[in-house]
Amino acid sequence: MKTRLILVAAGLALLTVVGGCKKKEKADENACNGKNFCMKINGTLFAEDATWRTINDTRYRIEIGGGKVEMDFYGSIAAGTYTVVASPSTSGQGGFQYYVQGKNNAKGQSGTLTITSVDNNTLSGNFKVTATDAVAGGTLEITEGHFYNVPKK
C-alpha cells in the first residue's frame, strides 16, 4: 500500500512538471497574440506575422510587411547567437531595422539575435536590440523579442 502511494505521488509530481513545461512554452507563444513574431518597442507590444528568406549563401532575413521590420543575420542557417551591429557584414553578426513611413526609421546599434531552432524551413528564436531612430530621434529599446516557427518565403 505504501509503495502504491509513493508511485502515485511520484506520477502526479511528474505530470505536474511536464504539464508546467508545456504551459510555459504555450504562454510564451501567446505573448505574440497569435502571431509568429512579436517584440516590445519601448514597452509597447508589436505583434505581426513574419517570413524569412535567403539573400545569399551567408545572409538571411526575417521580415515583416516588405520592410516594416527586417532582421538580417550572417553565417550559416543554424541555431546560434548573432551580435547586432549598425553595419553587419560578417559571420556571427546581425542587423535590425524597424521602419514606419514618416514615423520611425530605427536601426539596431547593439543587442543579440538568437536562433534557437531551424526545423522544416521554419525559424524560432528571440532577440533584444537597442536602436537609434533617424526620423523620431532618440533611442528605441526593443525587448521581449520572440519569433516562432517563422516560415521560409
**pLDDT attached to residue 29:** 60
Q: What pLDDT tens digit does each residue of the chain (153 aa) get?
A: 454 444 444 444 433 434 444 433 444 566 799 999 999 999 999 999 999 999 999 999 999 987 899 999 999 989 999 999 999 999 999 999 999 999 999 999 999 999 999 999 999 999 999 999 999 999 999 999 999 999 999
**Residue pair 46/96 in contact by the 8 Å Cβ criterion:** no
DSSP string, 22-88: HHHHHHHHHTTTT-SEEEEETTEEEEE--EEEEEETTEEEEEETTTTEEEEEES-SSSEEEEE-SS-
**Residue pair 105/137 in contact by the 8 Å Cβ criterion:** no
**pLDDT attached to residue 65:** 87
Half-sphere exposure of 24 (CA within 13 A, CB side): 6
Which residues, 6 or more positions from 78, have their beta carbon under 8 angstroms from its beta carbon? 115, 118
**pLDDT attached to residue 63:** 97
**pLDDT attached to residue 43:** 97
**pLDDT attached to residue 28:** 58
In the block, cell 502526479 appears at: 12
CA 81, CA 30: separation in Å to the nearest integer? 23
